[in-house]
């Protein structure tokens, strides 16, 4: 084979190997066969082939020494230079090279490499032969090293050592703009000096975007990259160059083009850019430079169809107009031209269409298929006359335009046809129907809310959960002149028409104030509901009214109705057994007569039964109400002590249950009778397990009522200011929005005598920003502030929400600032800190501090004093809007019992626990229930699971009391504060622990399970007020009294099984109380044992 043909074969093989390497490095799939730039692709392939040869010289020579001539030709290495790697120097050679001056070795290497034509050849020779010669010992041969050796003046030893640490792209770019000083080159090319990658900086110099050293400052910006930044390949550089050339050719200023790499590299598309620029030029709009300035990468990212739509259909011709239409440009498909043309026909300008962008894109359907053109015209025309900006906000209306005309007609008829009201009622459009809207607006009548939003919220709430009939009755029965009366009436309207009739007609509550007075004093009304006021319901209501306890009313009424129905069915049979419609009609008539007769027989005996049973009815007792007086009394004599026993956590303990006992257990514990019968034998006989404990016959509990009487509306602007402060805090912590946030902070507001939370919202935002790393403050900022600000006036939770805010401003926020404020200050340099401090408190209050950070720290403390005092005064005013309730109405007196009686097992069914059928847990000696009863309303109020077991980390033998699954019943949770409920359970637990000399009271980490409560509000209370405030457990100091750690529980790493032994292991417990003497004794014993070891 001739030398020429041999070289061709060698070159072809090298090109194939290099091409594979190029494809592996490419940032996108690349098909070179479709590339029309053949010279460019050949150049890429040739460079890749040379790199492959450079990396495989030894292997190629070992394979065939005759390939040396081809290697030399490929890499441009002269024949006078050897290719074979030399033998290592002896020790004296290695030592001697360090005696030769650096400048001599550098000059020698330059002369040797100057004869080699290619970079790859010089790189091979340097790394193979001269790396050991050059005394500065570079780690690698880079283009920067190559340029320095080839063309720069001789460098000193120190500067030469820096060469391989410089970005080669920046090195070449800086030299091309005429910088020859190595110190200046190093300033730009050192890794980290500039954030733009070197190859991109070099490209901007090669394309004459950057021409002087001063213009290099244009490149000091953060380029946009994906998380895993791809390598910038030659194909990518060619793409970028084409885009840059197009921008320059169309008049975009060089400084603007220099920022092209702020945008996503992968999205740069020269072909699309060229078409879009042609469209812009053809439309006669503003120059490409003005357009690029305002929309950036949309110039090549947006589809050409969208550009044609914006330029030709929307007719956006100025740069500002195009900027306003950016969302339409960037949309994934072309918007509807029919919709836009319809808006233009109605008089919409380009700016108006920009306001309607979201609407246009959401209604983006095929032309002629359902665009709500008539409905848009309806909104724009009289009498509604919405502006195009307002029409752009009517997305809900126009997404379902079917009943829009009728809906708007109702609003117009009731005086809400003006644009702001039409927009406000949009929220209710998909929630309620036209007829429902008419109904509730009629009820509203002439009463005017402060804002339409309040009215819309009220209608949505009422339409979703209430009936209109009780409202109509109230409006005719008692004066209700204000809209606030309608809002307050929500609480009593849900009791049903029959209840309201009884209150007004039977009890003479003939004013709205009298009805609300009754409501605030009534107990157990959470489940009260009566729609039909008849003789039976009136007797039951009389008894509940006399006791002022209504919790049993609904169950009592159902019990009576079922008993009467059973007697009717016994006589008449079932309705579905009747042969035809006529028979069923006669059946209904006879049934009504017979039911009335049975009710009349029952009514005389109901008051006596209720008197003896404490207002509670059982089916078995009602069934005997038609029997003789002696039989009825016999049943009651058996029932009353049974119920009393159950209400003390005890109950029957026989192997077989009587029907009346099953009913009593089912009633008290809300368990189905089948579960009681089927599980009775499995839970029987474990009472003796509690014999070793000293337990009282009942532990008093006091749960604070959450229902407070609110006389005046809240200052809503101050509540919203808290949300505004949250937003400002996020901006302050964001470097991008920091300047914007500072504009809202004005020191003079801090000293305004009439200041309120709204005026100091920006200052409060700074305090939130300074403390947001605290877990409790983080929770407030994430959810709690927004939830409390959204609470409606007169809602059940508003009083407790204000109490939580009081805790935030009096303890949580000051504690968080104390811990996290120094770290917050260190986030700013002195200049930024000084600027923020001046805006917060003014120059006059900063005289004492020296550095900017010191001034900011002083400003935050000064702000804290004033702002927290302002918020405290506001909260005091808001809490004063609640009328003080009589002392006996503030709390509910309850009784708690620790029980292992079999009936107490079914409390877990009342709480609907996931372990409600797990009798294995009940059999364990360590386990029991704490059941809580309301002795007046004679019902279960709540329960908890408790465990008596030793925790070796606290004491090797003494038992601890672990509390979990605190579950108040729904109706009790709805009317009492969570704080008082949880603390009442812990109070009883501590009493038991003290009486029995237990080591501690603890609760487990929920571990993602509902181990603390099935009630989300209780579980959230544990997380926010206990778990998030916990501290690591440390040894108790000698001489300490009992450790009360409820405000700051101690986190203890240990093992606890939340279910039966071996099931659901928990690795963390939280100590809320500890017997210091007992634990100190255990600590001393462990210390002695450790010393002995």
3 state SS for 439-490: HHHHHHCCCCCCCHHHHHHHHHHHHHHCCHHHHHHHHHHCCCCCHHHHHHHH
- Asked, for residue 982, whether it belongs to a domain, the answer is yes
Query: Residues 850, 981: one domain?
Result: no
For position 717, what pLDDT does the model report?
Answer: 79
Segment 322-349 shows an average pLDDT of: 89
The percentage of the chain sitting over the pLDDT mark of 70, rounded to a whole number, equals: 89
The residue with tokens 């490209």 is 203
Residue partners of 727: CB distance under 8 A and separation at least 6: 765
Query: Residues 959, 871: one domain?
Result: no
Q: Cα 86 from chain centroid?
A: 66
Cβ(655)–Cβ(902) below 8 Å: no
The CA distance from 144 to 141, in Å, is: 8
Q: Which two tokens stand for residue 658?
A: 């009587």
Query: Residues 839, 962: one domain?
Result: no
Query: Residues 841, 985: one domain?
Result: no
For position 207, what pLDDT does the model report?
Answer: 93
- Asked, for residue 874, whether it belongs to a domain, the answer is yes
Tell which residue, 407, 413, 446, 409, has the closest CA to residue 427.
407
Among 268, 296, 326, where does a domain finish? Answer: 268
* Residue predicted with more confidence, 974 or 545: 545
Is the CA virtual torsion 869, 870, 872, 876 positive or negative?
positive
User: In the predicted model, is pLDDT for residue 848 greater than 70?
Assistant: no
Tell which residue, 760, 975, 723, 791, has the closest CA to residue 863.
760
For position 1092, what pLDDT does the model report?
Answer: 44
Q: Which two tokens stand for residue 46?
A: 């040739």
User: In the predicted model, is pLDDT for residue 261 greater than 80?
Assistant: yes
Confidence of residue 793 (pLDDT cuts 50, 70, 90): low
Cβ(776)–Cβ(741) below 8 Å: no
User: In the predicted model, is pLDDT for residue 980 greater than 90?
Assistant: yes
Segment 849-872 shows an average pLDDT of: 88
Query: Residues 962, 1074: one domain?
Result: yes
Residue 716 vs residues 423, 451, 486, 719, 793: alpha-carbon distances, Å: 21, 11, 19, 5, 9
Query: Residues 989, 1072: one domain?
Result: yes
Q: Which of 335-344, 700-709, 1023-1032 is least confident? A: 700-709
Confidence of residue 231 (pLDDT cuts 50, 70, 90): low
Segment 688-693 shows an average pLDDT of: 90
Cβ(210)–Cβ(173) below 8 Å: yes
Average pLDDT value over all residues in the chain: 85
Residue partners of 270: CB distance under 8 A and separation at least 6: 239, 242, 243, 246, 300
User: In the predicted model, is pLDDT for residue 127 greater than 50?
Assistant: yes
Query: Residues 984, 845: one domain?
Result: no
Among 883, 904, 925, where does a domain finish? Answer: 883
Tell which residue, 733, 806, 742, 734, has the closest CA to residue 770.
733
The CA distance from 297 to 268, in Å, is: 8
Exposed (0-12), middle (13-18) or buried (19+): which is 238, by Cβ within 10 Å? Answer: middle
User: In the predicted model, is pLDDT for residue 954 greater than 80?
Assistant: yes
For position 29, what pLDDT does the model report?
Answer: 37
Confidence of residue 97 (pLDDT cuts 50, 70, 90): low
The CA distance from 438 to 408, in Å, is: 11
User: In the predicted model, is pLDDT for residue 1093 greater than 50?
Assistant: no
Segment 175-196 shows an average pLDDT of: 79
Instruction: Tell me the backbone φ, ψ of residue 1071, rounded to 5 degrees.
Output: -85, 125
* Residue predicted with more confidence, 409 or 525: 409
Rounded (10°) CA dihedral 55, 57, 62, 64: 130
For position 32, what pLDDT does the model report?
Answer: 43
Domains in the chain: how many in total?
3
C-alpha atoms less than 13 angstroms from C-alpha of 266 in its C-beta half-sphere:
11
Largest pairwise CA distance in the chain:
132
Q: Which of 135-144, 576-585, 815-824, 863-872 is least confident? A: 135-144
Query: Residues 961, 838: one domain?
Result: no
The CA distance from 900 to 431, in Å, is: 49
For position 26, what pLDDT does the model report?
Answer: 44
Q: Which two tokens stand for residue 787?
A: 């939830």
The CA distance from 628 to 607, in Å, is: 16
For position 525, what pLDDT does the model report?
Answer: 85
SS3 state at 741 = helix
Total residues belonging to the chain: 1093
Segment 199-209 shows an average pLDDT of: 91
User: In the predicted model, is pLDDT for residue 613 greater than 50?
Assistant: yes
- Asked, for residue 806, whether it belongs to a domain, the answer is yes
Interval 808-818: pLDDT, tens: 888 888 888 98
- Asked, for residue 650, whether it belongs to a domain, the answer is no
* Residue predicted with more confidence, 784 or 885: 784
Tell which residue, 627, 630, 654, has the closest CA to residue 642.
654
Residue 453 vs residues 456, 460, 485: alpha-carbon distances, Å: 5, 11, 17
The CA distance from 179 to 189, in Å, is: 12
What single-letter DSSP state applies at residue 407? Answer: H
Segment 691-697 shows an average pLDDT of: 91
Segment 863-874 shows an average pLDDT of: 91
Confidence of residue 998 (pLDDT cuts 50, 70, 90): very high
Q: What angle do CA 1022, 1027, 1033 make, to 5 degrees?
A: 135
Interval 396-455: pLDDT, tens: 999 889 899 999 999 999 999 999 999 999 999 998 999 999 999 999 999 988 888 889
The CA distance from 175 to 187, in Å, is: 12
The CA distance from 254 to 912, in Å, is: 71
User: In the predicted model, is pLDDT for residue 1091 greater than 50?
Assistant: no
Residue partners of 746: CB distance under 8 A and separation at least 6: 762, 839
The CA distance from 539 to 33, in Å, is: 95
For position 98, what pLDDT does the model report?
Answer: 62
- Asked, for residue 324, whether it belongs to a domain, the answer is no
Interval 276-313: pLDDT, tens: 999 998 888 778 888 888 888 999 999 999 999 999 99
Cβ(500)–Cβ(493) below 8 Å: yes
For position 2, what pLDDT does the model report?
Answer: 61
Segment 469-488 shows an average pLDDT of: 92
Confidence of residue 366 (pLDDT cuts 50, 70, 90): very low
Structural domain range at position 212: 177-268
Query: Residues 875, 1003: one domain?
Result: no
Q: Cα 871 from chain centroid?
A: 26
Query: Residues 824, 950: one domain?
Result: no
* Residue predicted with more confidence, 870 or 90: 870
- Asked, for residue 493, whether it belongs to a domain, the answer is no
The residue with tokens 């200023």 is 253
Interval 28-74: pLDDT, tens: 333 444 444 455 567 777 888 888 888 888 888 888 888 888 888 88
For position 222, what pLDDT does the model report?
Answer: 75
For position 627, what pLDDT does the model report?
Answer: 82
Confidence of residue 247 (pLDDT cuts 50, 70, 90): very high
Segment 551-559 shows an average pLDDT of: 89
Query: Residues 739, 869: one domain?
Result: yes
Tell which residue, 487, 506, 371, 390, has the closest CA to residue 440.
487
Q: Cα 891 from chain centroid?
A: 34
The CA distance from 111 to 105, in Å, is: 10
Q: What is the DSSP string of 58-97?
A: HHHHHH-GGGHHHHHHHHT--TTS--SPPPPPPHHHHHHH
- Asked, for residue 279, whether it belongs to a domain, the answer is no
Q: What is the DSSP string of 719-759?
A: HHHHHHHHHHHHHHH-TTTHHHHHHT--HHHHT-TT--TTT
Instruction: Please state, as a whole number, how many other Cβ atoms lie within 10 Å of the Cβ of residue 737.
Output: 14
Query: Residues 859, 957: one domain?
Result: no
Is the CA virtual torsion 1038, 1040, 1043, 1048 positive or negative?
negative
Interval 1032-1084: pLDDT, tens: 988 776 655 567 888 889 999 999 999 888 888 899 999 999 988 888 877 77
Of the chain, the end-to-end C-alpha distance in Å amounts to: 87
- Asked, for residue 238, whether it belongs to a domain, the answer is yes
Q: What is the DSSP string of 987-1013?
A: HHHHHHHHHTT-SEEEEE--TTS--S-
Among 883, 905, 920, where does a domain finish? Answer: 883
Residue partners of 941: CB distance under 8 A and separation at least 6: 703, 892, 894, 932, 933, 934, 968, 969, 972
Instruction: Tell me the backbone φ, ψ of residue 980, rounded to 5 degrees.
Output: -70, -35
């Amino acid at each position: 084979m001739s030398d020429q043909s041999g070289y061709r074969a060698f070159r072809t093989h090298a090109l194939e190997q290099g091409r594979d390497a190029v494809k592996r490095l490419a940032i996108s799939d690349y098909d070179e066969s479709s590339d029309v730039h053949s010279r460019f692709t050949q150049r890429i392939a040739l460079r890749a082939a040379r790199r492959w040869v450079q990396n495989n010289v030894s292997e190629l020579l070992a394979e065939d020494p005759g390939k040396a001539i081809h290697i030399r030709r490929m890499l441009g290495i002269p024949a006078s230079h050897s290719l074979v790697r030399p033998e290592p120097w002896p020790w004296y050679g290695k030592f001697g090279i360090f005696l030769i001056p650096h400048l001599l070795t550098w000059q020698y290497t330059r002369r040797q490499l100057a004869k080699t034509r290619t970079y790859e050849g010089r790189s091979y020779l340097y790394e193979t032969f001269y790396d050991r010669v050059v005394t500065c010992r570079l780690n690698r041969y880079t283009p920067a090293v190559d340029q320095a050796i080839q063309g720069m003046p001789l460098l000193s030893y120190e500067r030469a050592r820096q060469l391989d640490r410089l970005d080669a792209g920046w090195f070449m770019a800086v030299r091309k703009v005429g910088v020859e000083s190595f110190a200046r080159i190093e300033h730009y090319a050192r890794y980290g000096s500039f954030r733009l990658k070197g190859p991109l900086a070099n490209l901007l110099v090669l394309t004459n975007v950057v021409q002087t050293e001063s213009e290099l400052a244009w490149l000091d910006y953060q380029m946009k990259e994906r998380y895993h930044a791809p390598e910038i390949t030659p194909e990518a550089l060619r793409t970028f160059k084409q885009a840059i050339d197009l921008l320059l050719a169309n008049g975009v200023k060089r400084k603007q083009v220099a920022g092209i790499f702020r945008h996503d590299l992968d999205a740069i598309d020269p072909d699309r850019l060229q078409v879009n620029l042609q469209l812009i030029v053809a439309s006669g709009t503003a120059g490409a430079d003005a357009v690029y300035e305002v929309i950036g990468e949309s110039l090549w990212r947006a589809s050409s169809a969208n550009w044609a739509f914006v330029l030709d259909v929307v007719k956006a011709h100025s740069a500002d107009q195009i900027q306003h239409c950016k969302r339409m440009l960037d949309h994934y498909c072309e918007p509807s031209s029919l919709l836009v043309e319809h808006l233009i026909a109605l008089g919409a300008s380009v700016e108006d269409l920009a306001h309607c962008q979201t609407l246009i894109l959401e209604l983006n359907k095929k032309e002629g298929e359902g665009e709500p053109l008539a409905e848009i015209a309806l909104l724009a025309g009289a009498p509604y006359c919405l502006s195009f900006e307002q029409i752009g906000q009517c997305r809900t209306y126009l997404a379902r335009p079917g009943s829009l005309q009728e809906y708007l007609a109702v609003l117009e008829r009731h005086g809400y046809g003006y644009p702001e009201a039409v927009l406000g009622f949009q929220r209710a459009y998909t929630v309620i129907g036209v007829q429902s809207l008419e109904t509730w607006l009629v009820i509203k009548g002439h009463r005017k809310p402060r804002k339409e939003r309040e009215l819309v919220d009220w209608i949505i709430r009422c339409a979703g959960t209430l009936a209109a009939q009780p409202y109509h009755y109230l409006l005719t029965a008692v004066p209700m002149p204000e809209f606030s009366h309608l809002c307050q009436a929500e609480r009593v309207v849900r009791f049903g028409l029959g209840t309201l009739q009884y209150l007004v007609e039977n009890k003479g509550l003939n004013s709205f104030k009298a009805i609300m007075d009754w409501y605030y004093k009534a107990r157990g009304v959470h489940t009260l509901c009566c729609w039909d006021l008849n003789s039976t319901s009136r007797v039951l209501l009389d008894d509940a009214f006399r006791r002022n306890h209504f919790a049993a009313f609904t169950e009592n009424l159902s019990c009576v109705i079922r008993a009467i129905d059973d007697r009717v069915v016994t006589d008449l049979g079932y309705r579905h057994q009747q042969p035809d419609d006529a028979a069923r009609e006669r059946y209904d008539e006879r049934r009504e007569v017979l039911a009335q007769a049975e009710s009349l027989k029952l009514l005389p005996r109901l008051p006596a039964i209720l008197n003896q049973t404490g207002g509670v009815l059982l089916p078995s007792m009602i069934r005997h109400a038609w029997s003789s007086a002696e039989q009825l009394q016999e049943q009651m004599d058996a029932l009353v002590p049974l119920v009393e026993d159950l209400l003390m956590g005890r109950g029957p303990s026989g192997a077989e249950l009587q029907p009346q006992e099953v009913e009593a257990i089912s009633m008290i514990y809300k368990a189905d009778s089948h579960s009681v019968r089927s599980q009775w034998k499995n839970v029987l006989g474990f009472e003796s397990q509690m014999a070793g404990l000293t337990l009282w016959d009942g532990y008093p509990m006091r749960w604070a009522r959450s229902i407070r009487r609110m006389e005046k509306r809240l200052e809503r602007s101050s509540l919203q200011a808290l949300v505004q402060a949250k937003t400002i805090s996020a901006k302050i912590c964001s470097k991008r929005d920091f300047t914007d946030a500072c504009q809202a902070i004005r020191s003079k507001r801090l000293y305004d005598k009439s200041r309120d939370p709204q005026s100091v919202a920006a200052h409060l935002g700074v305090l939130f920003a300074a403390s947001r790393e605290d877990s409790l403050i983080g929770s407030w900022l994430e959810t709690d502030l927004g939830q409390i600000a959204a609470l409606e006036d007169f809602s059940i939770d508003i009083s407790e929400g204000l109490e939580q805010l009081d805790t935030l401003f009096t303890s949580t926020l000051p504690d968080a600032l104390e811990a996290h404020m120094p770290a917050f200050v260190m986030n700013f340099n002195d200049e930024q800190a000084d600027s923020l401090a001046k805006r917060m408190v003014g120059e006059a209050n900063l005289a004492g501090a020296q550095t900017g950070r010191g001034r900011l720290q002083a400003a935050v403390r000064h702000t804290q004093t004033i702002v927290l005092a302002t918020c405290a005064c506001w909260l005091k005013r808001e809490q004063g809007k609640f009328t003080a309730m009589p002392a006996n109405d503030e709390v509910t007196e309850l009784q708690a019992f620790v029980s292992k009686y079999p009936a107490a097992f079914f409390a877990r069914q009342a709480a609907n626990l996931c372990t409600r059928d797990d009798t294995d847990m009940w059999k364990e000696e360590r386990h029991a229930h704490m059941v809580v009863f309301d002795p007046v309303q004679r019902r279960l109020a709540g329960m908890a699971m408790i465990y008596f077991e030793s925790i070796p980390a606290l004491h090797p033998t003494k038992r601890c009391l672990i509390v979990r699954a605190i579950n108040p019943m729904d109706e009790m949770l709805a009317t009492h504060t969570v704080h008082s409920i949880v603390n009442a359970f812990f109070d009883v637990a501590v009493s038991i622990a003290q009486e029995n000399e237990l080591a501690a009271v603890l609760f487990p980490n929920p571990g993602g399970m509902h181990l603390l409560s099935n009630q989300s509000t209780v579980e959230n209370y544990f997380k926010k007020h206990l778990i998030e405030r916990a501290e690591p457990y440390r040894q108790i100091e000698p001489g300490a009294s009992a450790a009360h750690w409820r405000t700051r529980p101690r986190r203890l790493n240990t093992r606890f099984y939340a279910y039966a032994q071996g099931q659901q292991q928990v690795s963390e417990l939280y100590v809320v109380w500890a017997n210091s003497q007992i634990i100190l004794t255990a600590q001393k014993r462990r210390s002695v044992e450790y010393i002995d070891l």
